[in-house]
Chains A and B, each alone.
Chain A
Amino acid sequence: MTQISTANRVKPTKPLIEMRDISKHYGDYHALCGITLDIHEGEFFSLLGPSGCGKTTLLRVIAGFEGIDSGAVLISHQDMARVPANKRPTNMVFQSYAIFPHLSVAQNVGFGLRKSTMSKAQKEAAVAEALEMVGLKGYGARAAHALSGGQRQRVALARALILKPKVLLLDEPLSALDRKMREQMQVELIRLQRQVGITFILVTHDQEEALVMSDRIAVMFEGEIAQCDDPEILYRRPKSKRVADFIGVMNFLPATLHSHAGTIIADVAGLGEAEIAADQCPAGIPEGDALVGFRPETLTLLYDGQTATQREAAGVISEVVYYGDMTYYDVTLVGVSKPVRISMRNVFGRDVLAVGDATRVSWSAGALVVFP
């Protein structure tokens, strides 16, 4: 994963889009149930979720293609209820790209300038500039239907950005591309967003894509927002088992909670006791049975002679999956029937362990997340 650090990016906080308690249903089917969400100026925001979770509907609500049953959408503090899609300060990159097949590349990119007061020369300059921005300098005269998938996407981007919208909406823009092209476009989209400095809202079902690209991510299930946070918090401190499961791999072990001198202590099956900080569990979680989750990379297999820096547990390797740079081990911890997955970076000169080997595992209490 090409994780681009979010630390050096300006964290904008001024709300540009305010969504207040939006609901929408088609017959009995509730597409959106009480969505309240602020999206800030200049931020790269992602709506992430499985298909049918309402993310595309929400994007189309912002664009003005879908009406809502109740609630309000505000852009720059202005209620959008009576503003149709063609009057909103938003532009969209469609999933199919929607490149007009009867027009040339330049005519596609300049489509939105028809009513502008610019002179012909100014329009041509704007089109050339937009094309250059997306890396298609000199492609203007080409026929739209002769473009490759990646090129069509760039044309769609240039066409949407030429009107200098306050918000660019991207509906699964990378889903039609192959893996390599997709990774390349992820980086380019981040660069482009920093260059133009406007708000991007991306709809995706690919959690990796969302983690790589976004300043903040809203995870949606069944028309509701399950969690909205920056990628790191979302990954490290998911608020529910479902979010944890949807993003990356998460191991779950049963545990019992009790409090001791104001601190919560979890007795985790197979691992042992751990102190749980306030940000590791939902507020007001009752004592008793609970579930503890941790990511595969937060555990380390200990080779002979190594000692745990934190805490130690014992187990047997039940499955080895070799990935080249990494190896995934399924380890059955003592006293737990379901194995946990541990990922280890392969180091040159160190053997990959075999199924059946007894092993010790190092773990740390800070990596645990508690779910009710």
Chain B
Amino acid sequence: MKGLKLYAILYLIFLYAPIFLLPLFAFNSSTIIAFPLQSFTTQWFSALADIPEMHKAVLNSLRIAATSAVLATSFGIFAAMASTRYRFPAQKGLMGFIMLPLVLPEIIVAVSLLVVIVNAGFSTGAWSVIAGHTLICTPFAIAILQSAFASLDPALEEAAFDLGETPASTFRLVTLPLVMPGIISALLISFTISMDEFIIAFFLTGADPTLPVYLFSMLRFPKLLPAVMALGTLLVLASVVLLTIAEYFRRRGIKRAGAKDTGGFL
């Protein structure tokens, strides 16, 4: 196990290497992204304030991510409830189909949506990105919510019903509070995926780029790279904060439901 532990630590270093480099270059005064480092500066962060196109892209991405997260989580609630509570014909096939985007290369989702949208005579825009992101976030939301619903003892709902509550008030008083942590972490995960997704947005975003699409275009201009590093640092920070919140709610949910912790998000 000692050797394995050393290996595991080296592996973690491999995993985190790019992320640790990010702030190094973000605070480095040289415009060239290479060692040795020059002096410490925060100018790249302040430079971010002067790129209005980027602000627009950030706002666009936030809107798209928030909408996709709400939609994907709502769809996730329906599907997770249906698949954990009931048995119905073609259940496996239907669920498999809904979960398909998990294993489908995103470029396929992107081009096929593009083809339909263009041929139907619509123009692409934020709405089409939202449609695509909802599609790929839903399986993640379902996976999280399924475990939330599965760890919920069905007798709890029966008990509430037995004690005089209606199906609606049972959902409000018992089901919802108990799966709420799952809902919150599904929202956060979907939000993070949508914020980060590139290829679908690249195909479907139309005139207003999302942040990743904008970033991708920035990468072509070496002059802008330090600002990209600064932006990346902020993004990583935001992701880590969101994920920590998501993890907190996931654990609280498991604790509340009285179940044993079985691991991560996926």
Contacts and interface: CB of A to CB of B under 8 A. Distances in A.
Interface of A: 63, 65, 84-87, 90-92, 94-98, 100-102, 111-112, 114-115, 145, 159-160, 163
Interface in B148-197: 153, 155-156, 158-166, 173-174, 177-178
B162 A95 contact: no
Given A86-B163, A102-B178, A96 B153 contact: yes
Given A100-B174, A101-B256, A145-B256, A94 B161 contact: no
A63 B162 contact: yes
A65 B154 CA distance: 12
Interface in B191-249: none
A112 B164 contact: yes
B158 to A, nearest CB: 6
A286 B17 CA distance: 90
A163 B164 CA distance: 9
Interface of B: 153, 155-156, 158-166, 173-174, 177-178, 255-258
9 contacts: A65-B158, A85-B158, A91-B162, A96-B155, A101-B178, A101-B256, A111-B173, A112-B164, A114-B165
Question: Among B156, B173, B257, which residue has the most Cβ atoms of chain A within 10 A?
Answer: B156
A145 B255 contact: yes
Contact of B158 (A98, A101, A112, A115): A98
B174 A159 contact: no
A102 B155 contact: no
A28 B153 CA distance: 27
B256 A94 contact: no
A114 B160 CA distance: 11
B140 to A, nearest CB: 25
Contacts, number: 65
B165 A94 contact: no
B178 A111 contact: no
A147 to B, nearest CB: 10
B26 to A, nearest CB: 43
Given A86-B163, A86-B164, A94 B258 contact: no
Given A102-B178, A111-B160, A145-B255, A86 B155 contact: no
Contacts of B166: 86
B159 A115 contact: no
B159 A163 contact: no
A81 to B, nearest CB: 17
Contacts of A98: 153, 155-156, 158-159
Given A94-B155, A145-B255, A85 B178 contact: no
Contacts of B256: 101-102, 145
A115 B164 contact: yes
A102 B156 CA distance: 11
Given A87-B164, A101-B258, 15 more contacts: A65-B158, A85-B158, A92-B158, A94-B155, A94-B159, A96-B155, A97-B155, A98-B153, A102-B256, A111-B159, A111-B163, A111-B173, A114-B164, A115-B164, A160-B162
Contacts of B165: 86, 114
A97 B166 CA distance: 20
A10 B255 CA distance: 47
7 nearest A-B residue pairs (beta carbon): A112-B163, A98-B155, A98-B159, A94-B155, A98-B156, A92-B162, A101-B258
Contacts of B177: 102
A145 B156 CA distance: 14
A86 B178 contact: no
Contacts of A97: 155
Contacts of A63: 162
Nearest to B174: A100
Contacts of A87: 164
Question: Among B158, B174, B178, which residue has the most Cβ atoms of chain A within 10 A?
Answer: B158
A160 B257 CA distance: 21
Nearest to A93: B159
A95 B158 CA distance: 12
A101 B163 contact: no
A92 B160 CA distance: 10
A163 B163 contact: yes
A96 B155 CA distance: 7
B155 A95 contact: yes
B13 to A, nearest CB: 39
Question: Among B159, B160, B178, which residue has the most Cβ atoms of chain A within 10 A?
Answer: B159
A94 B161 CA distance: 12
Contact of A86 (B153, B156, B161): B161
Contacts of A84: 161
A101 B159 contact: no
Contacts of A85: 158, 161-162
Contacts of B174: 100
